[in-house]
Chain A
Amino acid sequence: GDSVTQMEGPVTLSEEAFLTINCTYTATGYPSLFWYVQYPGEGLQLLLKATKADDKGSNKGFEATYRKETTSFHLEKGSVQVSDSAVYFCALIGGSARQLTFGSGTQLTVLP
C-alpha cells in the first residue's frame, strides 16, 4: 500500500537557519503530495501541495518540489522564524483513493 516516510524529529534550529525536512513516498500511480502543519492545540492546516512531477508547492516561505525520480517531497525554508515552531506532516493521496496517507510528523522547534 501507499506509505510516507518522514525525517525523524525533533528538529531544533536557531532563528534564521535553513530548514530541510525530508519526505519520501511509496505509491502506485501518480499521487498528489501535501505538507500539513499543526500548531500547538490546533488541527492540521494545509501548508502546500503539488499534484504532478516537477511541480513546486510554496507558501509562507516554505517550498517543496515533487521529485518523481527520487519519490521525494522535501520541505525547505531559507530562514525559519520562532513562529514556525510546529509539527509538520508529509502526506499523499494516491490513485483514486480519497484517503490521505500521512507521515509520522516532524516536530520543529525554532529558538530565538
Chain B
Amino acid sequence: DAGVIQSPRHEVTEMGQEVTLRCKPISGHDYLFWYRQTMMRGLELLIYFNNNVPIDDSGMPEDRFSAKMPNASFSTLKIQPSEPRDSAVYFCASSTSGSFNQPQHFGDGTRLSIL
C-alpha cells in the first residue's frame, strides 16, 4: 500500500520566495495533519483537516503560512514570503476516522532550507 507521499523531499530557496509543499494522504484517510520539526522546538502541529475542512490552525505560526486541501487526495502548505527561520523538516500525516485511537501515518517529510 502506498503511504503518505510528500513532495519535494528537499527544497532550497532564497528568502522572500514562495514555497509550496505538497502531500498526498493515504487513500481512505479523512484526517490530514501538517507538522514542523526543528531541533529547537521538536515536533509542532501546524494545522489539521477533517474531510478537507481545516479544523484547527492554531499552530500556524504566522499569516505567511497557509494550508489548503482542495480534495481528499491532496493538500498544500504554502509559505509566502519565506524566511530563514522557516527552515525545518515539514511532515504530513494522515489517519482514519472512527475510533480516535487510530494512529497517524507520516510521510518522509520535506527538508526546507531558506537561505
Contacts and interface: CB of A to CB of B under 8 A. Distances in A.
A32 to B, nearest CB: 4
B43 interface: yes
Listed residue (A36, A49, A98, A100) with the most chain B CB atoms within 10 angstroms of its CB? A98
B42 A41 contact: no
B21 to A, nearest CB: 13
Interface residues of A, number: 21
Listed residue (B31, B106, B107) with the most chain A CB atoms within 10 angstroms of its CB? B106
B43 A98 contact: no
Contacts of B105: 46
A98 B100 contact: yes
B103 A49 contact: yes
B80 interface: no
B71 interface: no
A42 B6 CA distance: 11
Contact of A44 (B56, B91, B95, B101): B91
A93 interface: yes
A98 B97 CA distance: 9
B31 A98 contact: yes
Given A99-B48, A102-B43, A43 B103 contact: no
Interface in A46-98: 46, 49, 51, 89, 93, 96-98
B100 A102 contact: no
Contact of A43 (B50, B55, B56, B108): B108
B78 to A, nearest CB: 20
B45 A46 contact: no
B51 interface: no
B45 A99 contact: yes
Interface string B12-46: 00000000000000000001010000000011010
28 contacts: A34-B103, A43-B4, A43-B91, A43-B93, A43-B107, A43-B108, A43-B109, A44-B93, A44-B104, A45-B106, A49-B101, A49-B103, A89-B43, A93-B101, A96-B100, A97-B100, A98-B31, A98-B48, A98-B50, A98-B55, A98-B95, A99-B45, A99-B48, A99-B56, A100-B33, A100-B104, A102-B43, A105-B42
